[in-house]
Protein backbone atom coordinates (compact mmCIF):
# COMPACT_ATOMS: atom_id res chain seq x y z
CA UNK A 1 0.00 0.00 0.00
CA UNK A 2 2.99 2.26 -0.39
CA UNK A 3 2.48 5.54 -2.14
CA UNK A 4 5.29 5.70 -4.64
CA UNK A 5 6.22 8.75 -6.58
CA UNK A 6 8.44 9.00 -9.62
CA UNK A 7 11.03 11.48 -8.49
CA UNK A 8 13.17 10.53 -5.52
CA UNK A 9 16.04 13.04 -5.63
CA UNK A 10 15.44 15.82 -3.12
CA UNK A 11 15.17 19.13 -4.89
CA UNK A 12 16.60 22.05 -3.03
CA UNK A 13 15.59 25.68 -3.06
CA UNK A 14 18.86 27.56 -3.27
CA UNK A 15 19.60 30.57 -1.09
CA UNK A 16 23.29 30.93 -1.95
CA UNK A 17 24.81 33.36 -4.46
CA UNK A 18 22.51 36.32 -3.86
CA UNK A 19 22.35 39.06 -6.48
CA UNK A 20 22.48 42.59 -5.12
CA UNK A 21 20.30 45.50 -6.16
CA UNK A 22 22.08 48.89 -6.56
CA UNK A 23 22.82 50.42 -3.12
CA UNK A 24 20.50 53.09 -1.75
CA UNK A 25 21.69 56.69 -1.82
CA UNK A 26 22.71 58.52 1.37
CA UNK A 27 19.42 60.44 1.40
CA UNK A 28 17.32 57.29 0.86
CA UNK A 29 19.03 55.51 3.75
CA UNK A 30 18.76 58.39 6.22
CA UNK A 31 15.71 60.29 5.05
CA UNK A 32 13.81 60.16 8.34
CA UNK A 33 16.81 61.02 10.52
CA UNK A 34 17.75 63.90 8.22
CA UNK A 35 14.23 65.31 8.22
CA UNK A 36 14.20 65.21 12.02
CA UNK A 37 17.58 66.93 12.28
CA UNK A 38 16.54 69.57 9.78
CA UNK A 39 13.33 70.37 11.68
CA UNK A 40 15.24 70.63 14.96
CA UNK A 41 17.82 72.96 13.41
CA UNK A 42 15.13 75.26 12.02
CA UNK A 43 13.41 75.36 15.40
CA UNK A 44 16.64 76.28 17.25
CA UNK A 45 17.49 78.98 14.69
CA UNK A 46 14.01 80.44 15.00
CA UNK A 47 14.30 80.45 18.79
CA UNK A 48 17.68 82.18 18.67
CA UNK A 49 16.37 84.74 16.19
CA UNK A 50 13.27 85.43 18.30
CA UNK A 51 15.53 86.40 21.21
CA UNK A 52 18.12 88.26 19.09
CA UNK A 53 15.47 90.45 17.43
CA UNK A 54 13.75 90.88 20.79
CA UNK A 55 10.42 89.44 19.68
CA UNK A 56 10.39 87.71 23.07
CA UNK A 57 12.06 88.39 26.41
CA UNK A 58 15.06 86.12 27.03
CA UNK A 59 14.36 86.27 30.75
CA UNK A 60 11.31 84.07 30.11
CA UNK A 61 12.33 82.00 27.13
CA UNK A 62 16.14 81.80 27.37
CA UNK A 63 17.80 80.99 24.06
CA UNK A 64 19.98 78.22 22.62
CA UNK A 65 23.19 80.28 22.84
CA UNK A 66 22.48 81.35 26.43
CA UNK A 67 21.77 77.73 27.42
CA UNK A 68 25.04 76.60 25.85
CA UNK A 69 26.98 79.37 27.61
CA UNK A 70 25.39 78.67 31.00
CA UNK A 71 25.77 74.90 30.57
CA UNK A 72 29.39 75.27 29.55
CA UNK A 73 30.04 77.50 32.53
CA UNK A 74 28.47 75.02 34.94
CA UNK A 75 30.61 72.20 33.61
CA UNK A 76 33.73 74.38 33.50
CA UNK A 77 33.50 75.60 37.10
CA UNK A 78 32.38 72.15 38.22
CA UNK A 79 29.19 73.37 39.90
CA UNK A 80 27.09 70.86 37.91
CA UNK A 81 28.93 67.73 39.08
CA UNK A 82 27.41 67.39 42.57
CA UNK A 83 23.96 67.62 40.98
CA UNK A 84 24.79 65.01 38.35
CA UNK A 85 26.40 62.72 40.90
CA UNK A 86 23.44 62.80 43.27
CA UNK A 87 20.79 62.37 40.57
CA UNK A 88 22.82 59.69 38.80
CA UNK A 89 23.20 57.76 42.01
CA UNK A 90 19.47 57.98 42.83
CA UNK A 91 18.56 56.93 39.33
CA UNK A 92 21.02 54.03 39.12
CA UNK A 93 20.07 52.58 42.50
CA UNK A 94 16.31 53.19 42.17
CA UNK A 95 15.97 51.97 38.60
CA UNK A 96 18.36 49.08 39.19
CA UNK A 97 16.34 47.90 42.18
CA UNK A 98 13.15 48.26 40.14
CA UNK A 99 14.55 45.92 37.45
CA UNK A 100 15.98 43.45 39.93
CA UNK A 101 12.67 43.11 41.77
CA UNK A 102 10.18 43.86 38.97
CA UNK A 103 11.38 41.37 36.38
CA UNK A 104 11.68 38.24 38.57
CA UNK A 105 8.51 39.02 40.51
CA UNK A 106 6.67 39.71 37.25
CA UNK A 107 7.82 36.39 35.82
CA UNK A 108 6.68 34.55 38.95
CA UNK A 109 3.31 36.33 39.00
CA UNK A 110 2.81 35.70 35.30
CA UNK A 111 3.62 32.02 35.60
CA UNK A 112 1.87 31.16 38.86
CA UNK A 113 -1.81 32.13 38.61
CA UNK A 114 -2.40 31.82 42.35
CA UNK A 115 0.48 34.14 43.28
CA UNK A 116 -0.94 36.61 40.77
CA UNK A 117 -4.40 36.33 42.31
CA UNK A 118 -2.94 37.13 45.74
CA UNK A 119 -0.72 40.06 44.74
CA UNK A 120 -2.73 41.51 41.86
CA UNK A 121 -5.02 43.75 43.99
CA UNK A 122 -1.98 45.48 45.50
CA UNK A 123 -0.14 45.83 42.22
CA UNK A 124 -3.21 47.12 40.38
CA UNK A 125 -4.02 49.66 43.08
CA UNK A 126 -0.47 51.01 43.24
CA UNK A 127 -0.07 50.96 39.47
CA UNK A 128 -3.18 53.09 39.08
CA UNK A 129 -2.08 55.57 41.79
CA UNK A 130 0.24 58.36 40.68
CA UNK A 131 3.26 57.41 42.80
CA UNK A 132 4.06 61.06 43.26
CA UNK A 133 1.05 61.17 45.60
CA UNK A 134 3.00 58.89 47.91
CA UNK A 135 5.89 61.35 48.20
CA UNK A 136 4.83 62.91 51.54
CA UNK A 137 4.45 59.44 53.07
CA UNK A 138 7.82 58.37 51.71
CA UNK A 139 9.48 61.43 53.19
CA UNK A 140 7.94 60.63 56.56
CA UNK A 141 9.32 57.09 56.31
CA UNK A 142 12.69 57.69 54.67
CA UNK A 143 13.47 61.29 55.59
CA UNK A 144 14.56 64.00 53.21
CA UNK A 145 17.85 62.41 52.21
CA UNK A 146 18.82 60.23 49.28
CA UNK A 147 16.79 57.27 50.51
CA UNK A 148 13.44 58.92 49.91
CA UNK A 149 14.48 59.89 46.36
CA UNK A 150 15.66 56.38 45.62
CA UNK A 151 12.36 55.07 46.99
CA UNK A 152 10.29 57.32 44.74
CA UNK A 153 12.37 56.42 41.67
CA UNK A 154 11.98 52.76 42.55
CA UNK A 155 8.22 53.03 43.05
CA UNK A 156 7.81 54.93 39.81
CA UNK A 157 9.73 52.41 37.74
CA UNK A 158 8.86 49.09 39.34
CA UNK A 159 5.16 48.96 38.50
CA UNK A 160 5.33 49.44 34.73
CA UNK A 161 8.12 46.85 34.64
CA UNK A 162 6.16 44.46 36.84
CA UNK A 163 2.85 44.82 34.99
CA UNK A 164 4.44 44.44 31.55
CA UNK A 165 6.43 41.40 32.58
CA UNK A 166 3.32 39.76 34.03
CA UNK A 167 1.40 40.44 30.82
CA UNK A 168 4.30 39.19 28.70
CA UNK A 169 4.48 35.87 30.50
CA UNK A 170 0.71 35.42 30.69
CA UNK A 171 -0.12 36.13 27.08
CA UNK A 172 1.68 33.25 25.44
CA UNK A 173 0.32 32.15 22.11
CA UNK A 174 -1.84 29.07 22.78
CA UNK A 175 -0.56 27.44 19.57
CA UNK A 176 3.02 27.62 20.82
CA UNK A 177 2.00 25.98 24.08
CA UNK A 178 0.32 23.20 22.09
CA UNK A 179 3.45 22.67 20.00
CA UNK A 180 5.64 22.49 23.11
CA UNK A 181 3.29 20.04 24.81
CA UNK A 182 3.08 17.94 21.67
CA UNK A 183 6.86 17.58 21.70
CA UNK A 184 6.63 16.48 25.32
CA UNK A 185 7.73 19.68 27.06
CA UNK A 186 7.62 19.66 30.87
CA UNK A 187 6.31 22.73 32.73
CA UNK A 188 9.86 23.94 33.23
CA UNK A 189 10.73 23.46 29.57
CA UNK A 190 7.52 25.19 28.49
CA UNK A 191 8.55 28.13 30.63
CA UNK A 192 12.14 28.27 29.38
CA UNK A 193 11.48 27.66 25.68
CA UNK A 194 8.14 29.41 25.13
CA UNK A 195 7.06 31.72 27.96
CA UNK A 196 10.42 33.48 28.46
CA UNK A 197 11.37 34.19 24.84
CA UNK A 198 7.89 35.33 23.90
CA UNK A 199 7.71 37.72 26.87
CA UNK A 200 10.92 39.57 25.97
CA UNK A 201 9.30 42.26 23.77
CA UNK A 202 6.79 43.25 26.46
CA UNK A 203 9.44 43.06 29.16
CA UNK A 204 11.64 45.51 27.27
CA UNK A 205 8.79 47.91 26.63
CA UNK A 206 8.12 47.72 30.37
CA UNK A 207 11.70 48.82 30.98
CA UNK A 208 11.18 51.75 28.61
CA UNK A 209 8.01 52.83 30.41
CA UNK A 210 9.71 52.38 33.78
CA UNK A 211 12.59 54.55 32.63
CA UNK A 212 10.28 57.47 31.98
CA UNK A 213 8.68 57.11 35.40
CA UNK A 214 12.10 56.89 37.06
CA UNK A 215 13.11 60.23 35.54
CA UNK A 216 9.87 61.81 36.75
CA UNK A 217 10.65 60.42 40.19
CA UNK A 218 14.08 62.08 40.25
CA UNK A 219 12.84 65.51 39.25
CA UNK A 220 9.80 65.59 41.50
CA UNK A 221 11.55 63.90 44.41
CA UNK A 222 14.37 66.46 44.37
CA UNK A 223 12.00 69.40 44.30
CA UNK A 224 11.22 68.76 47.97
CA UNK A 225 13.83 68.98 50.65
CA UNK A 226 16.87 68.21 48.55
CA UNK A 227 20.24 69.92 48.62
CA UNK A 228 21.59 68.63 45.33
CA UNK A 229 20.41 66.98 42.14
CA UNK A 230 19.18 67.98 38.72
CA UNK A 231 15.60 68.27 39.99
CA UNK A 232 16.83 70.52 42.79
CA UNK A 233 18.79 72.60 40.26
CA UNK A 234 15.67 73.06 38.13
CA UNK A 235 13.49 74.00 41.12
CA UNK A 236 15.95 76.43 42.68
CA UNK A 237 16.92 78.10 39.40
CA UNK A 238 13.25 78.45 38.56
CA UNK A 239 12.54 80.18 41.84
CA UNK A 240 15.39 82.61 41.08
CA UNK A 241 14.19 83.27 37.55
CA UNK A 242 17.37 81.75 36.11
CA UNK A 243 15.71 80.37 33.01
CA UNK A 244 19.00 79.42 31.38
CA UNK A 245 19.95 77.12 34.26
CA UNK A 246 16.43 75.62 34.31
CA UNK A 247 16.86 74.81 30.64
CA UNK A 248 20.25 73.19 31.26
CA UNK A 249 18.64 70.92 33.85
CA UNK A 250 15.76 70.04 31.53
CA UNK A 251 18.16 69.25 28.69
CA UNK A 252 20.25 66.99 30.91
CA UNK A 253 17.14 65.06 31.99
CA UNK A 254 15.80 64.90 28.44
CA UNK A 255 19.06 63.71 26.93
CA UNK A 256 19.43 61.05 29.63
CA UNK A 257 15.95 59.84 28.73
CA UNK A 258 16.67 59.79 25.01
CA UNK A 259 20.04 58.07 25.47
CA UNK A 260 18.63 55.38 27.76
CA UNK A 261 15.67 54.79 25.45
CA UNK A 262 18.05 54.38 22.51
CA UNK A 263 20.15 51.97 24.54
CA UNK A 264 17.05 49.90 25.31
CA UNK A 265 16.10 50.00 21.64
CA UNK A 266 19.50 48.57 20.76
CA UNK A 267 19.02 45.78 23.29
CA UNK A 268 15.55 45.19 21.85
CA UNK A 269 17.03 44.88 18.36
CA UNK A 270 19.60 42.41 19.59
CA UNK A 271 16.81 40.23 21.03
CA UNK A 272 14.39 40.64 18.17
CA UNK A 273 16.33 40.11 15.00
CA UNK A 274 13.65 37.51 14.28
CA UNK A 275 10.90 40.10 14.14
CA UNK A 276 9.89 41.38 10.70
CA UNK A 277 10.45 45.13 10.34
CA UNK A 278 7.35 47.23 9.93
CA UNK A 279 7.12 50.41 7.87
CA UNK A 280 9.99 52.36 6.33
CA UNK B 1 -3.16 -11.74 -0.19
CA UNK B 2 -0.51 -9.73 1.62
CA UNK B 3 0.90 -10.82 4.95
CA UNK B 4 -1.20 -9.64 7.93
CA UNK B 5 -0.33 -6.01 8.42
CA UNK B 6 0.78 -4.20 11.55
CA UNK B 7 -1.73 -1.71 12.87
CA UNK B 8 0.37 1.36 13.74
CA UNK B 9 -2.61 3.13 15.21
CA UNK B 10 -5.73 1.62 16.63
CA UNK B 11 -8.75 3.46 18.00
CA UNK B 12 -11.05 1.31 20.14
CA UNK B 13 -14.49 2.84 20.62
CA UNK B 14 -12.97 6.24 21.30
CA UNK B 15 -15.27 8.98 22.60
CA UNK B 16 -14.35 12.60 23.14
CA UNK B 17 -16.12 15.44 24.92
CA UNK B 18 -15.77 19.16 25.04
CA UNK B 19 -16.74 21.24 28.08
CA UNK B 20 -17.95 24.77 27.45
CA UNK B 21 -16.13 26.86 30.07
CA UNK B 22 -18.95 29.38 30.39
CA UNK B 23 -22.10 27.27 30.39
CA UNK B 24 -20.42 24.13 31.85
CA UNK B 25 -22.27 22.17 29.18
CA UNK B 26 -20.65 18.90 28.18
CA UNK B 27 -20.72 18.45 24.43
CA UNK B 28 -20.05 15.03 22.92
CA UNK B 29 -17.60 15.52 20.03
CA UNK B 30 -16.75 12.00 18.99
CA UNK B 31 -18.65 8.79 19.73
CA UNK B 32 -17.44 5.21 19.61
CA UNK B 33 -14.93 5.51 16.83
CA UNK B 34 -13.07 2.36 15.81
CA UNK B 35 -10.26 2.72 13.32
CA UNK B 36 -7.03 1.00 12.35
CA UNK B 37 -4.23 2.66 10.45
CA UNK B 38 -1.63 0.27 9.06
CA UNK B 39 2.08 0.68 8.57
CA UNK B 40 2.96 2.81 5.55
CA UNK B 41 -0.58 4.08 5.11
CA UNK B 42 -1.69 7.64 4.74
CA UNK B 43 -5.23 7.94 6.04
CA UNK B 44 -7.20 11.17 5.64
CA UNK B 45 -10.00 12.27 7.94
CA UNK B 46 -12.69 14.36 6.29
CA UNK B 47 -16.10 15.48 7.50
CA UNK B 48 -18.35 18.50 7.78
CA UNK B 49 -16.80 21.59 9.35
CA UNK B 50 -16.69 21.47 13.12
CA UNK B 51 -17.28 17.72 13.33
CA UNK B 52 -14.23 17.11 15.50
CA UNK B 53 -11.52 16.04 13.06
CA UNK B 54 -8.88 18.21 14.69
CA UNK B 55 -10.07 17.21 18.16
CA UNK B 56 -9.57 13.56 17.25
CA UNK B 57 -6.08 14.30 15.98
CA UNK B 58 -5.23 16.16 19.21
CA UNK B 59 -6.47 13.15 21.18
CA UNK B 60 -4.23 10.81 19.17
CA UNK B 61 -1.31 13.14 19.87
CA UNK B 62 -2.16 12.89 23.57
CA UNK B 63 -3.05 16.55 23.97
CA UNK B 64 -6.53 15.90 25.32
CA UNK B 65 -8.11 13.32 27.61
CA UNK B 66 -10.48 10.65 26.26
CA UNK B 67 -14.05 10.44 27.48
CA UNK B 68 -14.06 6.73 26.67
CA UNK B 69 -12.22 4.01 24.78
CA UNK B 70 -8.52 3.48 24.12
CA UNK B 71 -5.99 4.72 21.62
CA UNK B 72 -3.15 2.33 20.84
CA UNK B 73 0.03 3.20 18.99
CA UNK B 74 2.13 0.14 18.17
CA UNK B 75 -0.27 -1.87 20.36
CA UNK B 76 0.49 0.26 23.42
CA UNK B 77 -2.21 2.45 24.94
CA UNK B 78 -1.15 6.09 24.88
CA UNK B 79 -1.15 8.37 27.89
CA UNK B 80 -0.21 11.91 26.90
CA UNK B 81 2.19 13.00 24.17
CA UNK B 82 5.04 10.65 23.31
CA UNK B 83 8.04 10.38 21.01
CA UNK B 84 6.24 7.75 18.92
CA UNK B 85 3.96 10.47 17.51
CA UNK B 86 4.64 13.91 16.09
CA UNK B 87 2.24 16.57 14.90
CA UNK B 88 2.46 18.92 11.96
CA UNK B 89 0.33 21.86 13.04
CA UNK B 90 -1.94 24.17 11.12
CA UNK B 91 -0.42 27.28 9.55
CA UNK B 92 2.06 29.24 11.61
CA UNK B 93 3.15 27.40 14.66
CA UNK B 94 6.89 27.80 14.11
CA UNK B 95 8.63 29.72 16.89
CA UNK B 96 9.41 33.11 15.34
CA UNK B 97 12.42 33.64 17.61
CA UNK B 98 14.12 30.46 16.41
CA UNK B 99 15.80 29.99 13.05
CA UNK B 100 14.75 27.17 10.73
CA UNK B 101 17.36 24.79 12.09
CA UNK B 102 16.62 25.77 15.70
CA UNK B 103 12.93 25.12 15.10
CA UNK B 104 13.67 21.69 13.69
CA UNK B 105 16.00 20.94 16.61
CA UNK B 106 13.32 21.86 19.16
CA UNK B 107 11.79 18.44 19.86
CA UNK B 108 15.14 16.67 20.19
CA UNK B 109 16.44 19.42 22.47
CA UNK B 110 13.48 18.89 24.78
CA UNK B 111 14.22 15.18 24.90
CA UNK B 112 17.81 15.97 25.83
CA UNK B 113 19.01 12.49 24.89
CA UNK B 114 21.45 13.49 22.17
CA UNK B 115 24.40 15.88 22.26
CA UNK B 116 23.70 19.28 20.67
CA UNK B 117 26.02 18.55 17.73
CA UNK B 118 24.18 15.32 16.89
CA UNK B 119 20.82 17.08 17.12
CA UNK B 120 22.01 19.75 14.70
CA UNK B 121 23.22 17.11 12.24
CA UNK B 122 19.88 15.34 12.28
CA UNK B 123 17.98 18.59 11.91
CA UNK B 124 20.14 19.58 8.93
CA UNK B 125 19.52 16.21 7.30
CA UNK B 126 15.78 16.73 7.65
CA UNK B 127 15.98 20.26 6.29
CA UNK B 128 17.74 18.77 3.29
CA UNK B 129 15.01 16.14 2.99
CA UNK B 130 12.24 18.72 2.81
CA UNK B 131 14.24 20.66 0.22
CA UNK B 132 15.28 23.68 2.29
CA UNK B 133 19.07 23.28 2.28
CA UNK B 134 20.58 26.77 2.42
CA UNK B 135 17.74 28.17 4.53
CA UNK B 136 18.78 26.65 7.85
CA UNK B 137 19.72 29.99 9.40
CA UNK B 138 16.72 31.96 8.14
CA UNK B 139 13.99 33.08 10.48
CA UNK B 140 10.42 31.91 9.75
CA UNK B 141 9.28 35.40 8.73
CA UNK B 142 11.87 35.35 5.96
CA UNK B 143 10.27 32.28 4.34
CA UNK B 144 7.20 31.85 2.16
CA UNK B 145 4.12 30.02 3.44
CA UNK B 146 5.02 26.84 1.58
CA UNK B 147 8.58 26.88 2.92
CA UNK B 148 7.32 27.40 6.46
CA UNK B 149 5.12 24.34 6.17
CA UNK B 150 8.12 22.34 4.95
CA UNK B 151 9.91 23.39 8.14
CA UNK B 152 6.84 22.40 10.12
CA UNK B 153 6.96 18.94 8.52
CA UNK B 154 10.71 18.65 9.15
CA UNK B 155 10.24 19.62 12.80
CA UNK B 156 7.86 16.67 13.23
CA UNK B 157 9.81 14.16 11.11
CA UNK B 158 13.12 14.78 12.89
CA UNK B 159 11.62 12.96 15.87
CA UNK B 160 11.44 9.85 13.66
CA UNK B 161 7.87 9.23 14.77
CA UNK B 162 6.06 5.94 14.21
CA UNK B 163 3.03 7.98 13.34
CA UNK B 164 2.89 11.43 11.79
CA UNK B 165 -0.21 13.52 12.50
CA UNK B 166 -1.02 16.37 10.16
CA UNK B 167 -3.66 18.95 11.04
CA UNK B 168 -4.69 20.72 7.84
CA UNK B 169 -1.05 21.59 7.20
CA UNK B 170 -1.73 23.25 3.85
CA UNK B 171 -4.90 25.16 4.78
CA UNK B 172 -3.18 28.55 4.81
CA UNK B 173 -1.41 28.08 1.47
CA UNK B 174 -2.57 29.41 -1.87
CA UNK B 175 -4.08 26.91 -4.29
CA UNK B 176 -0.97 26.41 -6.42
CA UNK B 177 1.49 26.04 -3.57
CA UNK B 178 -0.94 23.69 -1.94
CA UNK B 179 -0.98 21.30 -4.92
CA UNK B 180 2.80 21.29 -5.16
CA UNK B 181 3.11 20.71 -1.44
CA UNK B 182 0.79 17.70 -1.72
CA UNK B 183 3.17 16.11 -4.24
CA UNK B 184 6.14 17.08 -2.07
CA UNK B 185 4.57 15.60 1.04
CA UNK B 186 4.10 12.22 -0.64
CA UNK B 187 7.75 12.22 -1.67
CA UNK B 188 8.93 13.27 1.77
CA UNK B 189 6.81 10.66 3.54
CA UNK B 190 7.98 7.99 1.16
CA UNK B 191 11.61 8.86 1.81
CA UNK B 192 11.01 8.93 5.56
CA UNK B 193 8.80 5.80 5.43
CA UNK B 194 6.28 7.19 7.85
CA UNK B 195 2.69 6.25 8.55
CA UNK B 196 0.43 9.27 8.62
CA UNK B 197 -2.97 10.45 9.74
CA UNK B 198 -4.02 13.60 7.89
CA UNK B 199 -6.91 15.95 8.63
CA UNK B 200 -8.23 18.11 5.82
CA UNK B 201 -11.46 19.73 4.71
CA UNK B 202 -10.46 19.63 1.07
CA UNK B 203 -11.80 16.46 -0.48
CA UNK B 204 -9.53 16.54 -3.54
CA UNK B 205 -6.53 16.73 -1.23
CA UNK B 206 -7.80 13.74 0.76
CA UNK B 207 -8.30 11.57 -2.32
CA UNK B 208 -4.98 12.60 -3.85
CA UNK B 209 -2.90 11.83 -0.73
CA UNK B 210 -4.62 8.86 0.84
CA UNK B 211 -4.64 5.16 0.69
CA UNK B 212 -7.97 5.41 2.54
CA UNK B 213 -10.32 8.27 3.30
CA UNK B 214 -12.34 8.19 6.52
CA UNK B 215 -15.56 10.20 6.30
CA UNK B 216 -16.84 11.38 9.68
CA UNK B 217 -20.46 12.23 10.39
CA UNK B 218 -21.76 15.49 11.86
CA UNK B 219 -21.23 16.07 15.59
CA UNK B 220 -21.07 13.91 17.63
CA UNK B 221 -18.90 12.32 14.98
CA UNK B 222 -18.92 8.66 14.12
CA UNK B 223 -17.29 7.00 11.16
CA UNK B 224 -19.78 7.30 8.33
CA UNK B 225 -17.80 5.47 5.73
CA UNK B 226 -14.26 4.41 4.90
CA UNK B 227 -13.33 4.66 1.24
CA UNK B 228 -10.41 2.80 -0.31
CA UNK B 229 -8.65 4.99 -2.80
CA UNK B 230 -8.01 2.73 -5.78
CA UNK B 231 -5.57 5.00 -7.56
CA UNK B 232 -2.15 3.80 -8.72
CA UNK B 233 0.37 4.21 -5.89
CA UNK B 234 2.36 6.74 -7.88
CA UNK B 235 0.32 9.92 -7.68
CA UNK B 236 0.64 12.72 -10.17
CA UNK B 237 -1.29 15.97 -10.28
CA UNK B 238 -2.72 14.96 -13.65
CA UNK B 239 -4.72 12.25 -11.88
CA UNK B 240 -6.92 14.91 -10.36
CA UNK B 241 -8.67 15.19 -13.71
CA UNK B 242 -9.23 11.48 -14.32
CA UNK B 243 -12.83 10.22 -14.18
CA UNK B 244 -11.96 7.73 -11.44
CA UNK B 245 -10.60 10.49 -9.22
CA UNK B 246 -13.54 12.78 -9.85
CA UNK B 247 -16.00 10.00 -9.16
CA UNK B 248 -14.41 9.34 -5.77
CA UNK B 249 -14.34 13.02 -4.98
CA UNK B 250 -18.05 13.33 -5.84
CA UNK B 251 -18.94 10.33 -3.74
CA UNK B 252 -17.18 11.70 -0.66
CA UNK B 253 -18.67 15.14 -1.25
CA UNK B 254 -22.16 13.61 -1.35
CA UNK B 255 -21.53 11.84 1.99
CA UNK B 256 -20.43 15.08 3.60
CA UNK B 257 -23.35 16.93 2.07
CA UNK B 258 -25.76 14.50 3.69
CA UNK B 259 -24.18 15.21 7.05
CA UNK B 260 -24.17 18.96 6.55
CA UNK B 261 -27.90 18.83 5.80
CA UNK B 262 -28.51 17.10 9.11
CA UNK B 263 -26.89 19.93 11.04
CA UNK B 264 -28.78 22.57 9.07
CA UNK B 265 -25.51 23.91 7.72
CA UNK B 266 -26.88 23.22 4.27
CA UNK B 267 -30.53 23.89 3.54
CA UNK B 268 -32.22 21.64 0.99
CA UNK B 269 -34.05 23.46 -1.79
List per-residue pLDDT tens for chain B, 269 residues long: 455 678 899 999 999 998 888 888 888 999 999 999 999 899 999 988 888 888 999 999 999 899 999 999 998 999 889 889 999 987 678 999 999 999 999 999 999 999 999 999 999 999 988 889 899 999 998 999 889 999 999 999 999 999 999 999 998 888 888 888 899 889 888 888 889 999 998 999 999 999 999 999 988 889 999 999 988 888 888 889 999 999 999 999 999 988 888 877 666 55
Distance CA A13, CA B134 (A): 7
Q: Answer whether B48's CB lies under 8 Å from B15's CB.
A: no
Q: Select from A11, A16, A181 the Cβ nearest to the Cβ of B131.
A: A11
Say whether A5 and B98 touch across the interface (CB within 8 A). no
Q: For A64-271, CATH number?
A: 1.10.3720.10
Say whether B107 and A275 touch across the interface (CB within 8 A). no
- DSSP-assigned states of every residue in A156-182: HHHHHHHHHHHHHHH---HHHHHHHHH
- Which pLDDT score is estimated for A273? 64
Q: Answer whether B127's CB lies under 8 Å from B105's CB.
A: no
Q: Select from B42, B107, B131 the Cβ nearest to the Cβ of A12.
A: B131
- The 10 Å Cβ neighbour count of residue A113 is 11
Say whether A193 and B81 touch across the interface (CB within 8 A). no
> What is the largest distance, in Å, between two alpha-carbon atoms of chain A?
94
- DSSP-assigned states of every residue in chain A: -----S--SPP-----S---PPPPPHHHHHHHHHHHHHHHHHHHHHHHHHHHTTSS-HHHH--HHHHHHHHHHHHHSSTTHHHHHHHHHHHHHHHHHHHHHHHHHHHHHHH-HHHHHHHHHHHHHHHHS-GGGGHHHHHHHH-SSHHHHHHHHHHHHHHHHHHHHHHHHH---HHHHHHHHHTT--HHHHIIIIIHHHHHHHHHHHHHHHHHHHHHHHHHHHHSS-SSSHHHHHHHHHHTT-HHHHHHHHHHHHHHHHHHHHHHHHHHHHHTTTSPP---
Say whether B81 and A184 touch across the interface (CB within 8 A). yes
Average pLDDT over residues A58-87: 93
Q: Select from A13, A14, A185 the Cβ nearest to the Cβ of B110.
A: A185
B235 to chain A, any CB pair closer than 8 A? The answer is yes
Q: Select from A16, A183, A272 the Cβ nearest to the Cβ of B106.
A: A183
Q: What are the extents of the domains in chain A?
A: 31-61, 64-271
Between residues A276 and A45, the one the model is more confident about = A45
Residue B11 phi/psi, 5-degree rounding, is -105, 125
> What is the largest distance, in Å, between two alpha-carbon atoms of chain B?
64
Residue of chain A whose alpha carbon sits nearest to that of B57:
A182
- Which pLDDT score is estimated for A1? 44
Residues on chain B touching A178 (C-beta within 8 angstroms):
58, 63, 89, 93
Give the CA count within 13 Å in the CB-facing half-sphere of A230: 23
Distance CA A170, CA A164 (A): 10
How confident is the model over A196-215, as pLDDT tens digits? 888 888 899 999 999 999 99
Residues on chain A touching B106 (C-beta within 8 angstroms):
179, 183, 193
How confident is the model over A146-190, as pLDDT tens digits? 999 999 999 999 999 999 999 999 988 888 999 999 999 999 999
Q: Select from B110, B132, B139 the Cβ nearest to the Cβ of A13.
A: B132
Q: Which ipTM score applies to this complex? A: 0.87
String of b and e for A123-132 (b: at least 16 CB within 10 Å)? beeeeeeebb
B72 to chain A, any CB pair closer than 8 A? The answer is no
Average pLDDT over residues A1-10: 48
Q: Answer whether B160's CB lies under 8 Å from B85's CB.
A: no
- DSSP-assigned states of every residue in B210-232: -SEEEEE-SSSB-EEEEEE--S-
Compute the Cα dihedral for B106, B112, B116, B117 and give only its sign.
negative
- Which pLDDT score is estimated for A4? 47
Determine the distance in angstroms separating the CA of B7 from the nearest CA of chain A, rounded to an integer. Answer: 13
B7 to chain A, any CB pair closer than 8 A? The answer is no
Question: Which helix H or strand E contains B163, and what residues bound it?
Answer: strand B163-167
Q: For B1-84+164-182+194-269, CATH number?
A: 3.40.50.300
Residues on chain B touching A275 (C-beta within 8 angstroms):
96, 141
A to B CB pairs, distance under 8 Å: 114
Neighbour-count burial of B19, counting CB atoms closer than 10 A to its CB (0-12 exposed, 13-18 middle, 19+ buried)? exposed
Paired with B165 in beta bridges are B87, B197
Residues of chain B with CATH 3.40.50.300: 1-84+164-182+194-269
Distance CA B61, CA B73 (A): 10
- Which pLDDT score is estimated for A274? 66
Amino acid sequence: MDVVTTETEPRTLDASEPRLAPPKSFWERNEHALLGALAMTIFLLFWEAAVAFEWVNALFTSSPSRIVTTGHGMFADGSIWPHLKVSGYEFAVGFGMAIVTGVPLGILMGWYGRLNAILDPFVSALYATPRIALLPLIMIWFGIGLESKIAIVFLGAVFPILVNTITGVRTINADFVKVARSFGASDRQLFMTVALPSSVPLLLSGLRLGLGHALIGIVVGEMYGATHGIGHLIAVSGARFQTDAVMVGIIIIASTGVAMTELLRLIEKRFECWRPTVGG
Amino acid sequence: MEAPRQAKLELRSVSLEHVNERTRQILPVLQDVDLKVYEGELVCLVGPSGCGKTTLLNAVDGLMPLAGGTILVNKRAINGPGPDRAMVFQADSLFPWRTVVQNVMYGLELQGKLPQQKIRERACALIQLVGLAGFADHYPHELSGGMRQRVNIARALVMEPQLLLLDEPFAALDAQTREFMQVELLKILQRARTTALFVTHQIGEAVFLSTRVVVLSARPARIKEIIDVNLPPTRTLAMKHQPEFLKMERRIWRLIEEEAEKTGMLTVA
